[in-house]
Amino acid sequence: MAPVRDMAKVEPGESLRAGLRAATMAAHDLLDHAMQAASGWQTRADYARFLALQHAARVPLEAWLLANAPADLVPPAQTPLLARDLAALGVALPPSSPPFDPLQTLSKPPSAGAFHVKHACVGAAWVLAGSALGNKAIAKQVARIGGGEWPVAFLGDDMMMAFWQGLRARIERPAAPEEAEGATRAAEAVFAHFLAIAEHGEVAGSAAENLPA
């Protein structure tokens, strides 16, 4: 995982959103490539594998946010939608990944006092909510490749988009260095968590291997 930018050096007037994007750009690109390599959505089996990877990764993330985040920072649950899509494809749910702990996932520990749990929840929620923007683009490709027959409850979810709009208003403002670093370290941990799942794509391979292309 590429190192994040030193968020203790927040540019004057820079919004938290801009800081998060700049700090995790390399990690985001790395995850996109890894997810494409592990699954993609060129065939029905590929698409099922993509959904299974998403489900395996999101179960512990949703559990961590539900246990730690204030109500306004808990994104709408996506795993029930993923389960619905997988069932429609005739694929069993994959095993979930181990519990998510951002402090254990990080390759570099945060500065002393910078990892307040509320700051961390902002960063984690930002990654999950922001992924809904990419899902809309993927949904168009899936509709084209699958001829409109593949289920898209997850990719087409509007509740996450609504949550994203509310979160966006919150992060379109400058942040104190401690808040920025805590949010960024948590975002880095979420990307690392997803990347680990994508790089071990066999977790979902058996679930989709018998599907027709």
Q: The domain that contains 146 carries what CATH number?
A: 1.20.910.10
Return d(Cα 14, Cα 138) in angstroms, integer.
30
For residues 136-146, give the mean pLDDT: 92
Q: Is the pLDDT of residue 173 over 60?
A: yes
Return d(Cα 123, Cα 47) in angstroms, integer.
28
For residues 147-164, give the mean pLDDT: 95
- Alpha-helical (H) ranges within the chain are 16-38, 44-68, 79-88, 102-105, 117-145, 158-171, 177-199, 202-208
Which pLDDT does position 200 carry in this prediction? 77
Of 6-20, 41-55, 114-128, 189-203, where does mean pLDDT reach its minimum?
6-20
Q: Is the pLDDT of residue 212 over 70?
A: no
Burial class (CB in 10 A: 0-12, 13-18, 19+), 74: middle
Q: What's the domain count of the chain?
A: 1
Which pLDDT does position 41 carry in this prediction? 81
List the domain range (segments joined by +) for residue 74: 16-208
Q: Is residue 92 part of a domain?
A: yes
pLDDT band, very low/low/confident/very high, at 9 (cuts 50, 70, 90): very low
Q: Is the pLDDT of residue 5 over 50?
A: no
pLDDT band, very low/low/confident/very high, at 73 (cuts 50, 70, 90): very high
Instruction: Give this prediction's pTM.
Output: 0.85
- Report how far apart, in Å, the C-alpha atoms of 191 and of each of 31, 34, 86, 94 are: 7, 11, 23, 20
Give the mean pLDDT of the chain: 84
Q: Is residue 30 part of a domain?
A: yes
For residues 163-186, give the mean pLDDT: 90
Q: For Cα atoms 6, 130, 31, give the angle at the middle one, nearest 5 degrees.
A: 65
Which pLDDT does position 107 carry in this prediction? 58
Q: For Cα atoms 154, 160, 161, give the angle at the middle one, nearest 5 degrees.
A: 110
Query: At 174, is the secondary structure helix, strand, or coil?
Result: strand
Query: At 15, is the secondary structure helix, strand, or coil?
Result: strand
207/190: higher pLDDT: 190
Q: Is residue 40 part of a domain?
A: yes
Q: Is the pLDDT of residue 24 over 80?
A: yes
For residue range 107-135, list pLDDT tens digits in order.
Answer: 566 555 556 788 899 999 999 999 998 89
Which pLDDT does position 22 carry in this prediction? 92
